[in-house]
Amino acid sequence: MTDGVFEVVGTPEPAREARVKQLYELGFTWADLEDEAYWIDQIVLMRRSVYEELETASRLLWGILDKTVRYVHRKPDLYELLGIPQVLWTMLDEYPLAEPGLISRYARFDFAVANDGTIKLLELNADTPTGYVEAAIATPWVLERAGLPSRNSSMKDLVAAAWAAEQPEAAACVAYGSHLEDSGTIEALVRHSGRDMACEDCLELWFDDGYLKNKQGKVISRMFALYPKEWMAVDDAGEAMAFAIETGRLALFNPPHSILLQSKGLLAAVWGLYELGLLFDEREREAISAYVLPTYNKPVFSGSFVSKSMFGREGGSVRLFDDEGRLELEDREGFDSSVLFPSVYQKRAELAKIETAEGELHLLTGMFVINGTPCGLLGRAGGPITGNASHFIAMGVK
């Protein structure tokens, strides 16, 4: 248990195997991975007032980042600063921007919420967030069995609304059927969408005369893909995919401009515009001052800071530096994408520490934004860098 903002409640059930089996039947098939307990069978509760501030901050930041994308759009010098691969520039220029608030319909903020309630935005995954099954299925199930309400109950309906608008014909991920997390994620999204559609393996899709086809040769014209768009710069089929989107033969969901939201360089753009007194109104400036960490394209800090690739995922490429600017800790588990993309440098923020059955862990607070609405908490607990070795813990509100 911690004082104040977070409280860890419950103790792991002795009959873990039975609970893991029930979660498996619900679609959460990776509660245990290779004899390791990914899911911590406890609950962390956030103080209600902090949750309400987090929800408000998410709405404000969503609007600020949307506004910044529109400022960056069609400016190649800013694309370069954001690390956007050049193969995507024409696609981004020519593809129509979505209406305000819907550049991405399926996204997740990652926040550092400290033990004193201070909220700081670490990053936004606006392109291919995972954790949906944990937040939309496992969290409500765990909380319900403890007699507690969940703030995540609207996620399914918002997914259905998003997919009704985008109308994908197929959903795809890499290694569908063998990669448990990605496969389970797209299956859950398809199920919650209410649409009758097939799940595909990206490795079995191919382009023919500018059209995307599955292994049976059927053309796919609208697709949800758990496929990071920056990969188009290094994949053999990247140029073909960009061409298919540019020419209207393929519509991707999330839409192409979600890569502008995805780039961690966008936070550097927000901070730079804030420091220059440009673009933002007074309320937006107050939100940036309160919730956005100073972020730059160069390591200009006098105190402790973090470096990470503009397209790093699952902790890969993250390096923590101390007050003297010396390397203190780096993630060695995830893929270091800083070898492919430029890095950003961000002031360090404090993650809350919680006492769990797995020991004292740092808590990362995720907030999903689906169809433009903040709607679902995701708790992950691990080391100072939240990577592949972190745990999932259900999160609710006191």
Task: Report, as an integer, the average pLDDT of 227-248.
Answer: 93
Contact in structure between 34 and 385 (CB atoms under 8 Å): no
Helix (H, G, I), strand (E, B) or coil at 382: strand
Neighbours of 398 (CB within 10 A): 14
What confidence score (pLDDT) does residue 323 get? 84
Residues 110 and 123 sit within 8 Å (Cβ to Cβ): yes
Model pTM?
0.95
The answer to whether 391 touches 335, Cβ cutoff 8 Å, is no
Q: Are 157 and 370 in contact (CB under 8 A)?
A: no
Closest CA to 351 of 374, 379, 317: 379
Task: Read off the pLDDT of residues 280-306 as tens digits, 9 standing for 90 and up.
Answer: 999 999 999 999 999 999 988 878 989
Query: What is the per-residue pLDDT for 1?
Result: 39
pLDDT tens digits, one per residue of 318-341: 888 888 788 888 876 766 666 778
- Using CA atoms, how far residue 141 sits from 33, 43, 46, 184, in Å, is 20, 11, 18, 16
Confidence label for 2 from pLDDT (cuts 50, 70 and 90): very low
> How does pLDDT run across 55-83, given as a tens digit for each residue?
999 999 999 999 999 999 999 999 999 99
